[in-house]
Amino acid sequence: MDKRLGVPLTFLLPLTLLVLSGCAGEGAVRGRPGSAGVRDPYFPRLGNGGYDVQHYGLTLDYVPATGRLKGTAEITARATQALSAFNLDFAGMRVDSVTVDGESAALHRAGSELTLRPRDDVARGDTFRTVVRYSGVPRRIVDPDKSEEGWLVAGQRAVGLGEPTGSMAWYPGNHHPSDKAAYDIRITVPEGQKAVSNGELRSESTTDGRTTFVWHSAQPMASYLATVAIGPYKTETSVRTEKPEKAGKTRKAEKAGNTGGTDAGKTGKAARTADQDTTPLPIYNAVDPSVAADSARLLAELPAIVTWEEKTFGPYPFSSTGVIIGRKGDSQYALETQNRPFLPGPTSVATLVHEMAHQWFGNSVTPKSWRDMWLNEGFAEYTEWLWAEHTEQVPVRQSFEEAYEDDENWAFPPAEPPSAAHISNAPVYGRGAMVVHQVREAVGDAAFFRIVRGWLETYRHRNADTDDFTAYVERESGRDLGGIWDAWLYGDGDDRPPLD
């Protein structure tokens, strides 16, 4: 067995001879296999090397009565090296055919790894198109922490959720957050069902009792943020046009005539634009009819939450927004799927604030590896603290001290979870938020919010890690973060730093 490809040598030898003979001519490309996995510290086999996906075109046909999914994935990618073979991540279902640039490609499958060998090697820098046709019953994937993702089915309803590895259950691709791409997703379901996905709904048409929904996502998206939610959803569309200064106030705060505590939105450039209308933002919501009445208040809060987060963090990074609200039990958790988070039933406003904050932290600025998940979750948790101060006059310092007293937040350093089973545990969230507050206290309020907005603008639609964040904050503030990092981000919880 050739460990680089996971392909029997008896299979490789004749192909090798063909490649060598084909390369004998002048100007022939001599490629090598792309890596199977990008050596993520927690999921080393996840993702693939040798290419960068530019666009996914997914055509899906789902039959709820049988649970069967038929799909075609058109993957447009640029080779980052000369390729003789490359891999895709794909768990379950049958692969019916594979082509690369219109020519049949040799295929070997080992677990969740598809190894494709195109007829001709791909030159470095070339753009190539892979088409995979597949079918079957997509599976549930159980994470190392025992939570479930992938393709989650409940009766006639189904939802695809992908953090951290579940998207490979319903389409093949490069399923590591370091490789983001644009998406077009076409989904056909029985008439009467809705199929909701990321981005903007381009069309909806019904033929012979089947309805096709076409969704377009122009901004880059990590695969774990892609979703398809299928069910008898009630949908509504609107446009957010309200002014920032009226955003995010509860009735209590509006009656009091203030927003309480430190209002991050009054810092820097946002203060100068506070009286201007926000940019119109399309909103597309989908709600399971069984929870529609109970979801009304939460949906009413969404425009104000987005506007307040824009004031705090800078322009909303995508071309539309919204939320998908399923039933309790449709999933075990809420997830920040891009453009419109998925919620398992109507949640608290704080949860919606958290998931919408991820549109900036995690969705627009995406981690380079799963070790950097604290940047997503720490900032999203901190946004909840800011919101509580903004709407309910709960000082951020109080939320910080409550998190400090919670022993679960000290189980391990947030930037070094002990295993893949721990990347969603309390320290990544609560202690991650404490790290964010320590940075704020070190640099001061005005500098902190200016730096956060600059960070989000600089890395908009890109990937970044802890080193990138450290370098950016230190450069913009002139402060050395080493002490904060040693005590709060990487420090042993048995010797927690004292409160000031």
* pLDDT value at 394 more than 60: yes
Query: Other CB atoms closer than 10 Å to residue 132's CB: what's the count?
Result: 24
Q: Are 71 and 171 in contact (CB under 8 A)?
A: yes
Pairing of strands 83-89, 32-33: parallel
The pLDDT value recorded for residue 250 is 36
- Tens of pLDDT, residues 462-497: 999 999 999 999 999 999 999 999 999 999 888 899
The pLDDT value recorded for residue 257 is 30
- Tens of pLDDT, residues 14-39: 434 334 333 434 457 899 999 999 99
* pLDDT value at 270 more than 90: no
For 231, phi then psi, to 5°, come to 170, -175
- Tens of pLDDT, residues 136-168: 999 999 999 999 999 999 999 999 999 999 999
* pLDDT band with cut points at 50, 70 and 90 for residue 500: confident
Tell me the average pLDDT across 226-253: 73
Q: Are 273 and 265 in contact (CB under 8 A)?
A: no
Question: Considering the entire predicted model, what is its pTM?
Answer: 0.89
Which residues, listed in sequence order, are joined to residue 287 by a DSSP beta bridge? 234, 325
* pLDDT value at 419 more than 60: yes
Which residue matches tokens 């506007």? 307
